[in-house]
Copies of this chain bind each other. A is one copy, B any other.
Amino acid sequence: MASFSSYIFLIILFIISVGASEIKSIYLPGTYQSSLLVKKHDEKTKIPFKTHYFPQILDHFTFLPRSSKVFYQKYLINDQYWHKEGGGPIFVYTGNEGNIDWFAVNTGFMIDIAPKFNALLVFIEHRFYGDSMPFGNNSYKSAKTLGYLNSQQALADYAVLIRSLKQNLSSDSSPVVVFGGSYGGMLAAWFRLKYPHIAIGAVASSAPILQFDKITPWSSFYDAVSQDFKDASLNCYKVIKGSWAELDALSTHDDGLIEVSKLFRTCKALHSVYSARDWLWEAFVYTAMVNYPTEANFMMPLPAFPVEEMCKIIDGLPKGASKLSKAFAAASLYYNYTQTEKCFNLEGGTDSHGLHGWDWQACTEMVMPMTCSNESMFPPSSFSYKEFSQDCKKQYGVKPRPHWITTEFGGYRIEQVLKRFGSNMIFSNGMQDPWSRGGVLKNISSSIVALVTQKGAHHVDFRSETKNDPDWLIMQRKQEVAIIEKWLEEYYKDLKQN
């Protein structure tokens, strides 16, 4: 069996509640990629949204006979707070890689602030996700259909839809502000840059727009995960760092699979030790991402500051216990905080929601190279464009265009470029979130600002406010509201003058 240590990287963007049995991952040889987006069934929409479908054009950027084919793009509307007559603003969530209902429910911030702004809320689903399938059940069939799935087409969808919507609502003068988290935040930021005539501002939360090419060090993501654990407890970090070798060693045993299955309390005997590795890996990465300051139920039900809780588990176990068993115990917090699971399904996750579009995106334009440095708590690994390209070719029949995103959207010397160009953007990040390393962490100009919190995690600012929110989070949201207010004031003032 191969060592764990070669070419391992995770691409996990927007991570949500997954039942242990629902984990989906595609293992490309030498490359582990995963986008875990599963609609949480037990979470109900808290405010009413009306569902609509917009006849969207398949290909905005060619005029081939097939380009004008229409598909139905889902979007949600809430107009209960909107003061349309007064030109109240339109807050648009630029949907990312999943069912839009889920984003609507989990972006409580927009709902919380809508009354204050008298805003219309619109959540637009990203093409090839949720119900917005250009070719119905055949949408994911091959490169001939998936070829239309990419960020530029998605941005153009949003532009066309918003323009049409404003026309239909006779609300031409209502300013649009776009919001997005994670990949949706990248889309919101890029939308403001590419369509400033449609959106007057963008709030991009945890948007790693600099995670491409060589802008951000490739090891930064896993170094950041490791840092979270190290900050919680040096011992904890060391235990996890040492656990992989133990798993590796087990994999060479004749009875290794049986032993690992037993140790990991799997419901069924494992087919591959890799599954155990991935299971641990995901738990640590996702827990770092959602290392929220309050109890939350975003990915999984978890206590406040779950990284610290994991480390408490590890540090509390007897010295004699194996590192692997400690790592398992810590990971169990992630998968079983509610203590309802009797056993774990580490394999055979189904993609019941048809959400594996991210894997395609990662194999075409969303190429974010990641490595594990010797200092990280993960097994060291490198990244090769060549091997990655070969894997994608094998998997999808396409070759990635790894430098396309930075050609199309920029990223290098972003301070210098946007200092002299653009305005009205908020990049919010929490340093607990490993994706923050690929985000914009410094103010660029007076109106392109970075709101960074040391204790924040993956777009925590976009979550509904709770009674237990710490001051820094309350403050961050207040700053966002104040900045949006300024954009709107300026807009209405300009409107009056013209």
Given A160-B407, A412-B197, A416-B494, A150 and B423 contact (CB-CB distance below 8 Å): no
Say yes or no for A159: interface residue by CB 8 A criterion. Answer: yes
> Cβ of A64 and Cβ of B411 under 8 Å apart?
no
| CB proximity to B under 8 Å, residues A470-490 | 490
Binding-face segment, A290-298, A338-346, A396-404: A396-404
Contact among B404, B415, B421, B495 for A60, CB-based, below 8 A: B404
Say yes or no for A68: interface residue by CB 8 A criterion. Answer: yes
Given A60-B404, A61-B152, A407-B163, A196 and B417 contact (CB-CB distance below 8 Å): yes
> Cβ of B494 and Cβ of A420 under 8 Å apart?
yes
Contact among B150, B418, B424 for A61, CB-based, below 8 A: B150
> Cβ of A415 and Cβ of B498 under 8 Å apart?
yes
A408 to chain B, nearest CB (A): 7
Residues of B within 8 A of A197 (CB): 409-414, 417
Say yes or no for A146: interface residue by CB 8 A criterion. Answer: yes
Say yes or no for A62: interface residue by CB 8 A criterion. Answer: yes
A406 to chain B, nearest CB (A): 8
Contact among B65, B68, B153 for A62, CB-based, below 8 A: B153
Residues of B within 8 A of A495 (CB): 416
> Cβ of B413 and Cβ of A498 under 8 Å apart?
yes
> Cβ of A490 and Cβ of B63 under 8 Å apart?
no
Residues of B within 8 A of A146 (CB): 63
Residues of B within 8 A of A411 (CB): 197
Residues of B within 8 A of A61 (CB): 59-62, 150, 152-153
Contact among B64, B194, B200, B419 for A494, CB-based, below 8 A: B419
> Cβ of B364 and Cβ of A144 under 8 Å apart?
no
- Give the docked Cα–Cα distance between A197 and B190 (Å): 13
A64-B147, A156-B407, A198-B407 known; 20 other A-B pairs, CB under 8 Å? A57-B401, A60-B404, A61-B62, A61-B150, A61-B153, A62-B148, A62-B153, A63-B149, A63-B365, A64-B143, A65-B147, A68-B398, A159-B407, A160-B407, A196-B418, A197-B413, A416-B494, A420-B423, A420-B494, A421-B421
7 residue pairs bridging A and B, Cβ less than 8 Å apart: A61-B62, A62-B153, A63-B147, A63-B401, A194-B194, A421-B421, A421-B424
